[in-house]
Structure 1
Amino acid sequence: MREHAGTSAATPDPSSTTRTGNNAEIFAACPQFFANGQPPVVVHRPTNRALCYDAFAILHSGESKTAVYVAEKLNRASIADADEKRTNKFFPDARLRSGERATLDDYKGSGFDRGHLAPAGDMPTAQAMAQSFSLANMVPQAPEHNRGAWAKTVEAATRKYAGRASGNLYVITGPVFEPSIAQSESIGPGHVHVPKYLFKLVYDQNKNRAWAHWHLNDDTTRGSRPISYAELVKRTGIEFLPGVSPSQ
């Protein structure tokens, strides 16, 4: 997750967004980003929207004006192709209602980075790179954490592991708001909510192993040992891998 200046980028096909409904049906246009085609099981919220992009999928919250989670599928081939030049052109996704999405003004002067959830460094094509700068793929992130521990000990480590894995990795990244979205800090005229924690779940399908990085969204955060999948589910209340029982 790195923050840079930027103003616009091409958005994906507006037809690839939908309200939440049946858990699998909402991502019918991009099931490939989820293990066994099954998205995480989350409580239905009226302002949640599913967004499909070329290299990732987002469940977006109109309450927090950030993602609930962002899902990717990584493997040796995708990492080998992830050598695109950064576009650095951030843009609000026009598929989201104006009152439910972040804008560039929300981050301006906030003191927070626009932190990628699906990292730009994972993107295998120029179009995917451009799409990764959607503000739907951002959260307000402490700058030193974004450019330091998160980038070096979480994102880079995940790419390195994917680059030598024998099969597919399913990676789900998201924010955690405590004590609640409504009570969390927010930035900008649109009140984009600031997460207290960030997590990145990594599931190695071939080995049936899963682990998660869990970081406080703070400039003082340093690297820490991953937590188990069971612990992530306990902390978030979300079943990220429905139908899967990964080994610990």
Structure 2
Amino acid sequence: MLPLLRCIPLLACLTAALPTLAAAPPADVARLPSSFASCPDFFLGQKPPALPAASKRRELCFDGFAVLHSVETRTPIYAAQRLNRRALGGIKRQKSDRFFAEARLPSAERASLDDYKRSGYSRGHLAPAGDMATEAAMAQSFSLANVVPQSMRHNSGAWSKIEEDTRKYVQRAKGDVYVVTGAVFSTGGERIGRNGVGVPDHLFKLVHDVHTGQTWAHWQANQDDERPGRPISYQELVRRTSIDWLPMLGPQAKLTFPVRR
């Protein structure tokens, strides 16, 4: 079982090898609420994951997702989404899309663009830009509060395939699909930049189909040679992280996942 610290924490991203592009946040970000009480619909049964109590976290709502942000790692712990085929992606990525520091977070708690510069890591979305249903939501997904340092080839390879496969599943689904994407860190793990942004050891994407009751998770090492593998069960994800990510499911959660990926 992973130590508790490992349980803090995910289409395409600009890589850290590119020049840092300064950008102001989208004009509407300042109006967004900073409490899950204002965006409960991103969570199954309107209940966020059952993480142990801690003071070094911030809740952030966006138009297309919600994020729990870690002060300690200056990254998201997880991003939560409610997806369905009526409102999924289809928005062409704009050339003006830019990553930006999250102004709703105090400067002492957030990552900066310079932290990723020449770090060797991509700025990897937890809630993917490709999932967003509006241009505003897509622009908001480039907040660094929704980003972790990710292996470049993993981000553009195995992880990108998992994101695309999840979208394809949602497009076939008959109802809402809840997705929780998170990052898992080790004690004393790698940090980047002046602000010491934490680099996750693993990423996971948890998927729950409300109509069928099917629940599964993709578990991936954050490394260049990682390949897409067979999903794991919800119970196995809980065992590995010691966190109940979908508390509304309870002990009767199905152990099934789609054969077709």
1:45, 1:82 → 2: CA distance? 37
1:13: Cα distance to partner?
3.5
Which aligned runs of 4 or more in structure 1 are off by greater than 3 angstroms? Answer: none
1:141 alignment partner in structure 2 = 150
TM-score by length of 1: 0.91
Asked if structure 1 preserves the Cα contact closer than 8 Å seen for 2:32 and 2:61, the reply is: no
1:7 alignment partner in structure 2 = 22
2:253 alignment partner in structure 1 = 246
CA deviations over 1:185-240 (Å, ceiling 9, x no partner): 00000000000000000000111111000000000101111100000011111111
Q: 3-state DSSP class of the match of 2:22?
A: coil
1:15: Cα distance to partner?
5.8
1:14: Cα distance to partner?
5.1
Which structure would you say has the larger RCO, counting Cα contacts within 8 Å and 6 or more residues apart? 2
- In structure 2, list runs of 5 or more residues that go unmatched: 1-10, 15-19, 256-261
Q: Determine whether 1:228 maps to 2:233.
A: yes
1:56 alignment partner in structure 2 = 65
1:6, 1:163 → 2: CA distance? 33
Q: Determine whether 1:17 maps to 2:34.
A: yes
Q: 3-state DSSP class of the match of 1:28?
A: helix
Q: What aligned pairs does 1:122-133 form with structure 2 within 5 A after superposition? A: 122-133=131-142
1:83: Cα distance to partner?
2.1
1:7, 1:239 → 2: CA distance? 38
CA deviations over 1:20-73 (Å, ceiling 9, x no partner): xxxxxxx11001101111110001221200000000000000001111110011
The alignment of Structure 1 onto Structure 2 pairs a total of residues equal to 235
Amino-acid identity (%): 49
User: Which of 61, 71, 91 does residue 83 from structure 1 map onto?
Assistant: 91
Q: What aligned pairs does 1:1-248 form with structure 2 within 5 A after superposition? A: 1-4=11-14, 6-8=21-23, 9-10=25-26, 12-13=29-30, 16-18=33-35, 27-79=36-88, 81-86=89-94, 87-152=96-161, 154-178=162-186, 180=187, 183-244=188-249, 245-248=252-255
1:15–1:116 CA distance, 2 compared to 1 (3 A): closer
1:6: Cα distance to partner?
3.7
User: Alpha carbon RMSD of aligned pairs, Å?
Assistant: 1.3
2:150, 2:42 → 1: CA distance? 24
TM-score by length of 2: 0.87
